[in-house]
Amino acid sequence: MAAEKERVCVTGAGGYVASWLVKDLLDRGYIVHGTVRDPGDKKNDHLKKLPNSAENLQLFKADLLDYDSLCAAISGCTGVFHVASPVPAPGAVVDLIEPAVIGTRNVLNASFNAKVKRVVVVSSTAAVKCNPSWPKDKAMDEECWSDTEFCKSNQPHYYLEQDYYLAKTIAEREALEYAERTGLDIVTVCPSIVLGPMLQPTLNTSSSMFLMVMKGGLESMENTEDPLVDVRDVAKALVLVYEKPEAKGRYLCTSYTIRRGTTVDNLKKLYPNYNYPKSFTEVDDHLNLTSQKLQNLGWKYRPIEDTLVSTVRNFQESGLL
């Protein structure tokens, strides 16, 4: 539990993972500084409705590329959770590398100057799994890094651009190098594909993909292996690595790896009337990620059935399904 009114900053507080993190921190008694682009925007209203938000949540107008705005938000905080980073919507053309890399650098510099005790940086398994030279019979763990040269010349995933893999890999490497260089206590967490109920009103990328699987009526879809983790379990992992003094370095955060066709079969048993893909094409993309290091720290994850049902119910309640 948080010490008496410990103050922490969460960047990109209105986002999918960050919203659940803010909720967990408020539930645990923290005072939270949340950075958003516009505190008055209605899309951030869900944060103001969270329990304990009236007294313990303060939203700051900030931009990752505006160092001074980050300094204002981080001032007085003992910890920082750097969650903000763009995830591209399918087909979107956006600059990913500058906000991820320069933004992370700005957050770390502001944290160092504010003398915070620990920074938790949210990376992604995109910074892990794009590595063709990793032994096929060995689970990808914290020692495995995406090969940036390979990412530049290959399309690692059909709906995420190379730049996303590059941005996450470069930003995370730089964060850990910054820790070595300056002594700032930095822990990184790499979630896989995040599913589960949304607190925010806008549709995030992974939820959008899940929705497309359920109602897109696609003729065919690749039967890829999807490493999945529940958004609520990611939030718990971030708090865990912040609060545990022994947490060090890098942590993969993933629960299950499941073929997309199997996920659809499970969904059809529970919700048979949606417009699922008509067929799947087989692909050779065996993926073996392990979160054993995080589990050794005390992290637990919920059953995949809980995640699927909670996600669908959330879509139904919000009118998306």
Which residues are identified as catalytic? 168
Query: How many alpha carbons lie under 13 Å from residue 190 in its C-beta half-sphere?
Result: 31
Residue carrying the six token digits 């992974």: 206
| Cβ pair 264, 217 in contact under 8 A | no
What angle separates helix 260-270 from helix 304-317, to the nearest 10 degrees? 60
Residue 278 carries which DSSP code? S
Q: Where are the beta strands (DSSP E) in the chain?
A: 7-11, 31-36, 57-61, 79-82, 118-122, 186-191, 193-195, 221-222, 225-230, 249-253, 256-259, 280-281
C-alpha 225: how far from chain center: 19
Nearest Cα neighbor of 210 from 97, 107, 122, 307 is 307
User: How many whole angstroms separate alpha carbon 265 and alpha carbon 268?
Assistant: 5
Q: Where are the beta strands (DSSP E) in 46-168?
A: 57-61, 79-82, 118-122
DSSP three-state, residue 201: coil
Q: Which residues pair with 188 in a beta bridge?
A: 121, 250
Q: ∠42-44-47 over CA atoms, to 5°?
A: 130
